[in-house]
Amino acid sequence: MKKLTVLSIVAASLLLVGCGDSATGAEAKAASEHKTESTMKCGEGKCGASMKKEATEAKEAVESKATEAKEAVTEAVKKTKEAVAEKVEAATEKATAAVDAAKESASSAVDSAKAAAASVAGAATAAVAAATGPDGKAIFAKCAGCHGADGKTSALGKSEIIAGQAEADLEKKITEYKAGTRNTKGMGALMKGQVAGLSDADIKAVATYISGL
C-alpha cells in the first residue's frame, strides 16, 4: 500500500511537469508564428513608405467623409431653416387672420353698441318730448280767470262747470269754439278768442287736465 502511494505521487509529479512543458511550448509556438506574420507583411512591401501612404489615404478618406457630413449637416440646417420660416409665415398669416376677425367682431360690437346708444338716445329724446309736450296745467292758467282755478266756476255766470267733464267732450267743445261753430250761451265768440291760439295737441292736453279736476 505504502509503495503504491509513493508511486502515485511520482506519477502525478511527472504529469504536472509534462503539462508545464507543454504549455510553454504552445506559447513559444504562437510567438514564433506572430513574428513570421510581421516579417511576411514587411516582405510584401507594406512597411515604411507604403504604410505611410496607406495612412495618408485613410486620413484623406476620413477628411472627405467629414466634409461630406459637414455639407449634409449644412444642407439639413438650411432645409430646417426654410421649413421653420414657412411655418412662421403660415402662423403669421393665421395670426393676422385672427386679428382681422377680432377687429371685425370688435368693430361690429362697437356698431351694435353705437346702435344701442342711438336707440337709447332716441328713446330719451322721445321721453323728453313727451315730458316737454303741451302742459295742460300751464295752458289752463289763462282759463282759470273765468272758469276758476279748480274749473268749478261758471265762467261769467254763463258757462257750464267744466271740471270733471269727459276728456273727449272737452276736446270736441274747445275744438268747436276754435272753429267758431259752438255758441251755447251767446258767448261763443268770446271763447273762440280764448282758444284760437291753441294747437290740437294743446287742446288735447288742456282737456285732459280739466277732465282730471
Q: Which residues bind ligand HEC (CB under 6 A)?
A: 142-143, 145-147, 155-156, 158-160, 162, 170, 173-174, 182-188, 190-191, 194-195, 206
Closest among 200, 211, 209 to 142, alpha carbons compared: 209
Closest among 147, 130, 132 to 213, alpha carbons compared: 147
Separation CA 151–CA 140 (nearest Å): 9
Angle at 210 between CA 207 and CA 213, to 5 degrees: 155
Separation CA 191–CA 183 (nearest Å): 9
Q: How far is the CB of 212 from ligand HEC (least distance, A)?
A: 13
| Alpha-carbon separation of residue 75 from 62, 83, 198 (angstroms) | 20, 12, 96
Q: How far is the CB of 150 from ligand HEC (least distance, A)?
A: 14
Contact (CB, 8 A) for 150 and 213: yes
Nearer to ligand HEC, 47 or 164 (CB): 164
Nearer to ligand HEC, 29 or 158 (CB): 158
Q: How far is the CB of 196 from ligand HEC (least distance, A)?
A: 10
User: Which grid cell is 31?
Assistant: 510567438
φ/ψ (deg, to 5) at 148: 85, 145
Nearer to ligand HEC, 18 or 204 (CB): 204
Separation CA 135–CA 202 (nearest Å): 7
**CA 198, 199, 204, 209: dihedral to nearest 10 degrees?**
-40
Q: How far is the CB of 159 from ligand HEC (least distance, A)?
A: 3
Separation CA 186–CA 60 (nearest Å): 138
- Residue closest to ligand HEC, measured at CB: 143
Q: How far is the CB of 113 from ligand HEC (least distance, A)?
A: 47
Q: How far is the CB of 152 from ligand HEC (least distance, A)?
A: 12
